[in-house]
């Protein structure tokens, strides 16, 4: 059975020094996990990863590569002997593919690890470029802004590829500890989780609902979002916690304008307890500075005043338009805008406090006496496993 060869370029991990091998080992493990069931084989040589995929599994393998964090790019690759005629012929075939894609300009980029090859990198680029132009006169060389690039790598064999796909970059998932994502059914938190996965962080997630005031559809919407993010983070455990008794306590005992901030404080309090028990090292939130009343700097200070774990907010400096753009690329946007309300909007005051005082917030929170309710909510938590491998 013939096999298709893919060449993968590692991303940021190439900047690592003495611990680079450990990052590569994690990347290889993640790659093997994503390719499980495809029959593909993974190998590494001198800073490159190779995937040999059996015929018929290409779509599944390419979908896996598109969800692999830690590579700068990948390409379907030709392999040939390190002989000049074979290399130039392979370059011409890649030029043919560029033409079939409607590409008008190109350049050749060569890298020669094996110095015994008779042409140096510049000579390879010149002669391969000439061969492609001779075969396809309408294809012009543009070394500054080419529409396409034919890459040649002379290693233990010669590898030639023309249509390269951009990777997710970042660091392999699992190299930066594990955090607990506060996941809602909105647009922001799934993007925040994805961004932390791209920094190498493994993720678990917690979702607070207020059943029966919030619908089962709202819960399933969040499960779907966790599944999408989980395809990038190699799976995700989603803990579902019923916050209805907490919200009723807040409604009964607190000033109306403080309800949202106090709810956020209770969520952080509960999430931290769960995170510590699960061995997570931080909380991850989708907050963006001043996007809504609960996210002013004063109210963020109130919100996190109950926790000691680091609270990572990868979206803090972004605006809504940027977040929506990222959500569309991630594939969560269409799910996030489904019209099922989360518990955050339940009992939401018409005029929430904008600049809460942390000392006053602390006193109001203490007066809620919600410790037992949080413990009961944690005991009754439910688990959803949102995983991988990615489906074609």
For residue range 93-112, what is the model confidence (pLDDT) as tens digits? 999 999 999 999 999 999 99
Which has the minimum average pLDDT: 106-110, 133-137, 163-167, 279-283? 163-167
pLDDT at 348: 78
pLDDT at 1: 54
286 assigned binding-site residue = yes
pLDDT at 388: 65
pLDDT-based confidence at residue 17 (cuts at 50, 70, 90): confident
183 assigned binding-site residue = yes
- Give tens-digit pLDDT for 330-367: 999 999 999 877 766 667 788 999 999 999 999 999 99
* Topology, domain 3-166: VC0802-like (3.30.2130)
Kindly tell me if the per-residue pLDDT of 168 is higher than 60: yes
Q: What is the mean pLDDT of residues 87-92?
A: 96
Kindly tell me if the per-residue pLDDT of 391 is higher than 50: no
pLDDT-based confidence at residue 389 (cuts at 50, 70, 90): low
> How is the chain split into domains, by residue range?
3-166, 178-386
Q: Quote the percentage of the chain above a pLDDT of 90.
A: 84
In whole angstroms, what is the distance from residue 193 CA to residue 201 CA? 9
Q: What is the mean pLDDT of residues 142-167?
A: 94
* Same fold yes or no, 3-166 and 178-386: no
Please check whether residue 69 is in contact with residue 200, taking contact to mean a CB–CB distance below 8 angstroms: yes
Terminal alpha carbon distance of the chain: 21
In whole angstroms, what is the distance from residue 343 CA to residue 61 CA? 39
Which has the minimum average pLDDT: 47-51, 174-178, 355-359? 47-51
In whole angstroms, what is the distance from residue 166 CA to residue 135 CA? 28
Which has the minimum average pLDDT: 108-112, 216-220, 226-230, 299-303? 216-220
264 assigned binding-site residue = yes
**Torsion over CA: 283, 289, 291, 292 (sign):** positive
Kindly tell me if the per-residue pLDDT of 390 is higher than 50: no
208 assigned binding-site residue = yes
pLDDT at 296: 95
Q: What is the mean pLDDT of residues 188-193?
A: 98
- The average confidence (pLDDT) of the chain is 93
Q: What is the mean pLDDT of residues 19-43?
A: 93
Cα distances (angstroms) measured from residue 263 to each of 101, 304, 361 = 54, 12, 11
Kindly tell me if the per-residue pLDDT of 387 is higher than 90: no
Report the predicted TM-score, pTM, of the whole model to 2 decimal places. 0.91
- Of 1 and 84, the one with more pLDDT: 84
Phi, psi of 50 (to 5 degrees): -125, 140
In whole angstroms, what is the distance from residue 192 CA to residue 72 CA? 20
Q: What is the mean pLDDT of residues 208-212?
A: 88
Q: Quote the percentage of the chain above a pLDDT of 70.
A: 97
pLDDT at 379: 97
In whole angstroms, what is the distance from residue 199 CA to residue 117 CA? 38
Which CATH superfamily groups domain 178-386? HUPs (3.40.50.620)
């Amino acid at each position: 059975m013939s096999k298709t060869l893919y060449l993968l370029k590692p991303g940021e991990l190439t900047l690592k020094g003495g611990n680079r091998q450990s990052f590569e080992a994690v990347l290889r493990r993640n790659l093997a996990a994503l390719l499980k069931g495809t029959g593909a084989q993974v190998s590494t040589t001198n800073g490159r990863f190779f995937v040999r995929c059996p015929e018929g599994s290409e779509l599944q393998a390419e979908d896996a590569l598109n969800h692999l964090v830690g590579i700068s790019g990948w390409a379907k690759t030709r392999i040939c002997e390190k002989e000049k005629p074979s290399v130039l012929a392979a370059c011409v075939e890649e030029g043919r593919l560029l033409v079939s894609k409607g590409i008008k300009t190109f350049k050749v980029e060569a890298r020669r690890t094996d110095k015994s090859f008779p042409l140096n990198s510049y000579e390879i680029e010149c002669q391969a470029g000439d061969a492609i132009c001779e075969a396809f006169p309408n294809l012009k060389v543009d070394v500054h802004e080419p529409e396409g690039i034919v890459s040649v790598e002379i290693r233990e064999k010669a590898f030639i590829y023309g249509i390269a796909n951009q990777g997710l970059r970042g660091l392999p998932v699992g190299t930066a500890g594990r955090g607990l994502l506060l996941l809602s059914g909105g647009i922001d938190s799934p993007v925040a989780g994805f961004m932390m996965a791209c920094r190498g962080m493994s993720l678990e997630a917690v979702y607070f609902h207020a059943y029966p005031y919030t619908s089962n559809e709202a819960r399933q919407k969040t499960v779907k979002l966790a599944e999408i993010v989980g395809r990038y983070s190699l799976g995700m455990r989603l803990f579902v916690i019923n916050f209805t008794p907490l919200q009723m306590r807040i409604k009964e005992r607190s000033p109306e304008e403080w309800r949202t901030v106090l709810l956020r404080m209770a969520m952080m309090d509960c999430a931290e307890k769960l995170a510590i028990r699960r061995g997570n090292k931080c909380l991850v939130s989708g907050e963006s500075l001043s996007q809504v009343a609960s996210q002013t700097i004063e109210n963020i200070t109130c919100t996190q005043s109950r926790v000691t774990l680091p609270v990572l907010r990868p979206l803090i400096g972004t605006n809504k338009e940027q977040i929506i753009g990222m959500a569309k690329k991630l594939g969560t946007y269409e799910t996030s805008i489904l019209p099922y309300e989360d518990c955050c909007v339940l009992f939401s005051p018409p005029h929430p406090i904008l600049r809460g005082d942390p000392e006053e917030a602390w006193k109001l929170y203490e007066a809620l006496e919600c410790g037992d309710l949080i413990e009961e909510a944690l005991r009754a938590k439910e688990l959803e496993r949102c995983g991988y491998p990615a489906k074609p």
